[in-house]
Chain A
Amino acid sequence: DTGVSQDPRHKITKRGQNVTFRCDPISEHNRLYWYRQTLGQGPEFLTYFQNEAQLEKSRLLSDRFSAERPKGSFSTLEIQRTEQGDSAMYLCASSPGQIYGYTFGSGTRLTVV
């Protein structure tokens, strides 16, 4: 499979627990994006990497959220001390450049109970 892979597909966690999601982008793509999508809404930008450098973080991203892309390949998104409001679909996308658009993964659906 040469698309964008996300793991896990679903995660149910108790409030207050930490969770970590992984994204494997298309190997030739140097840009990687994380978005969050809730029911009935479009994807909201969270953060963006070019190679291993995190170039932008949304103001939506509280201090409980952190993302890494250590070798410029896969990326992880960690949420600490999860809250019910964190329940959403977390989407990863990669791109060789903005003019090409993004290729999205299938997402990780997080449910905080």
Chain B
Amino acid sequence: AQSVSQHNHHVILSEAASLELGCNYSYGGTVNLFWYVQYPGQHLQLLLKYFSGDPLVKGIKGFEAEFIKSKFSFNLRKPSVQWSDTAEYFCAVIGASKIIFGSGTRLSIRP
């Protein structure tokens, strides 16, 4: 069955620190991957997506993610976080007919 694992439930960083959030997927078919973000009190928004081609995908707000097929991973990165990046981040994979989400990682930024 398709699944997504996010092992970091809560990450706390200081402003300007670098960020990497882990995501591992399990899916036997063609892999299409997403990162979504949910800011406090707001709806889910698409950060970036991978379908094919360059495994390094750039998204909005300075985020990027790297698809590593051999490791079944799609980690999210940002070189320097800001307080406004405080949010919940969800990795997701397209299954047979719908998107399957991980359990999310809560990111807290210390000013």
Q: Residues of A with Cβ closer than 8 Å to B?
A: 33, 35, 40-45, 48, 55-56, 91, 93, 98-99, 101-107
Contacts and interface: CB of A to CB of B under 8 A. Distances in A.
A100 to B, nearest CB: 8
23 contacts: A40-B9, A41-B103, A41-B104, A42-B4, A42-B92, A42-B103, A43-B44, A43-B90, A43-B101, A45-B98, A45-B99, A48-B97, A48-B98, A56-B98, A91-B43, A101-B34, A101-B46, A101-B99, A102-B99, A104-B45, A105-B43, A106-B42, A106-B43
Contacts of A102: 46, 99
A42 B102 contact: yes
Interface residues of B, number: 23
Interface of B: 4, 6, 9, 32, 34, 42-46, 49, 51, 90, 92, 94, 97-104
Contacts of A91: 43-44
A60 to B, nearest CB: 12
A41 B92 CA distance: 13
A45 B100 CA distance: 7
Given A43-B44, A105-B43, A98 B100 contact: no
Contact of B32 (A48, A93, A99, A107): A99
Q: Which of B32, B90, B98 has the most CB of A within 10 A?
A: B98
A105 B44 CA distance: 8
A35 B104 CA distance: 15
